[in-house]
Amino acid sequence: MTASPPVLPPDDLASLRASIDNIDVALLHLLAERFKLTHRVGLYKLANGLPSIAPEREQAQFERIRILATQAGLDPAWAQRFLDFIIREVVARHEALRHPPQASGAD
């Protein structure tokens, strides 16, 4: 009797989707914490007269994310677009801290 390879059950669509949904909950909560941190960065920059955009910091983040993506088996170009998608929102929020919307004249 020879050892046979272990038999894995076939994928089940509902089970895969449940795992994807679990990951999305984790992603969303990490993003919520990330925006709390960048909000504090925004307040720090405002209090210290620093601009919203820090090109050198962004450049370092993009270089780092490309390396990390390769290590994690992700397309580095997609990972960079992903980070850019988040950073654009962060910069918009930092700008909004500087220029809060005018109160409406009505009411």
- Chain residues binding its own copies by CB under 8 A are 11, 13, 16-17, 19-21, 23-38, 40-41, 43-44, 57, 61, 64-65, 68-69, 72-74, 78-79, 82-83, 85-86, 89
Q: Shortest approach of its own copies to residue 106 CB, angstroms? A: 24
Give the integer Cα–Cα distance in Å for 42 and 52. 7
Q: Which is nearer to its own copies, 34 or 98 (CB)?
A: 34
- Angle among Cα 12, 14, 19 to the nearest 5 degrees reads 95
Q: Shortest approach of its own copies to residue 25 CB, angstroms? A: 6
Q: Which is nearer to its own copies, 3 or 7 (CB)?
A: 7
Q: Shortest approach of its own copies to residue 101 CB, angstroms? A: 15
Place of tokens 């005018």: 102
In Å, how far are 31, 56, 105 from 22, measured between CA atoms? 14, 35, 45
